[in-house]
Amino acid sequence: MNKKNLLVAVFLGITALVMGATFAGHTGVKETKVKIHTTMGDIVVKLYNQTPQTRDNFIKLVNTKFYDSTLFHRVIQTFMIQGGDPTSKKAKPGAMLGNGDAGYTVPAEIVPGLFHKKGALATARQGDQVNPTKASSGCQFYIVQGKKFTNGALDTMEERMNFGVKQQIFTQIISKPENAELKKKFIKYQNESNIDSLQALTKTIEPEIDSLYNKAEKFKFTPEQRAAYTTVGGTPQLDNNYTVFGEVVEGMDVVDKIAAVKTDHNDRPVEDVRVLSMKIVK
């Protein structure tokens, strides 16, 4: 190898090392694992580094034994199991649970690529009406059990999830100053519950709605999401609305067992399913 080629090779080698180190710094950081020791068995979850605020908050609560003796207070088969309510520790049988919190919220960390496949670990939160920023509960979490979906069902879900986009466009159009009379008519027909007139009026601006809708950014399941939801399953209807910050790596059978327990009308297990302890594991 001549001197020129040697220098090129050395340069490329150094560049590869630097790029590799940089890449590892972003994605090669070891993920924290937590063992959830329950009365029905052990579940091990790994926490994503892409959601650092949620991860660090969960680790803090685990290390301070916040979750020890809490219940899985909301369980819905083919959907999810939810826990983390501190008031559940000494709850009486049949008491309604789910309103306990840590006294603070955590900013939403809704990351593309982290979704509600079976085994996903995510944060509970209050609804959009009182929580438009989708901030997470400071302590309550859920683990997805979910179910499998067909591609046709996912297509229908996409349309439903994008319906809000059309609603926003409609509101923008009738709120324009030049459409003041149109808005008055809509309000009048709504107050009168005059469905036929409302539909006829909507048709007059449908072309404008459709034009803006076609240009708008819309929700669409990625190939990775579709592959997961049609094979292992999950809860795709929750995507883009809740922070997913980890996933089950051991003990999915325990999640399935918990999801199958008998529950009351508030979705609380009739026989308590308790988190005995949580701890960081290697």
- Each residue's pLDDT expressed in tens, for the chain with a length of 282 residues: 443 443 333 333 433 333 333 333 345 689 999 999 999 999 999 999 999 999 999 999 999 999 999 999 999 999 999 999 999 999 999 999 999 999 999 999 999 999 999 999 999 999 999 999 999 999 999 999 999 999 999 999 999 888 888 888 999 999 999 999 999 999 999 999 999 999 999 999 999 999 998 888 888 999 999 999 999 999 999 999 999 999 999 999 999 999 999 999 999 999 999 999 999 998
Distance (Å, whole) CA 255 – CA 236:
18
- What is the 3 state secondary structure string of 218-230? CCCCCHHHHHHHH
* pLDDT score for 253: 98
Distance (Å, whole) CA 167 – CA 201:
15
Distance (Å, whole) CA 90 – CA 109:
31
* pLDDT score for 2: 44
Compute, in degrees rounded to 10, the torsion defined by CA atoms 13, 17, 22, 24: 130
How many helices (H) and strands (E) the chain has is answered by 7, 10
CB neighbour list of residue 271: distance below 8 Å, 6 or more residues apart: 261, 262
CB neighbour list of residue 157: distance below 8 Å, 6 or more residues apart: 149, 221, 236, 237
Query: Which whole-number Å values give the CA distances from 109 to 11, 74, 229, in the listed order?
Result: 39, 23, 22
Task: Please check whether residue 139 is in contact with residue 98, taking contact to mean a CB–CB distance below 8 angstroms.
Answer: no
Smallest CA-to-CA distance from 243 within 157, 144, 121 is with 121
* pLDDT score for 166: 87
Full set of structural domains in the chain with CATH: 33-148+232-281 (2.40.100.10), 152-215 (no CATH)
* pLDDT score for 28: 64
* pLDDT score for 47: 98
CB neighbour list of residue 267: distance below 8 Å, 6 or more residues apart: 74, 75, 76
Angle between helices 180-191 and 151-174 (to 10 degrees): 120
Query: Which whole-number Å values give the CA distances from 213 to 84, 154, 176, 216, 217, in the listed order?
Result: 40, 20, 17, 5, 8
* pLDDT score for 76: 98
Q: What global pTM score does this model have?
A: 0.80
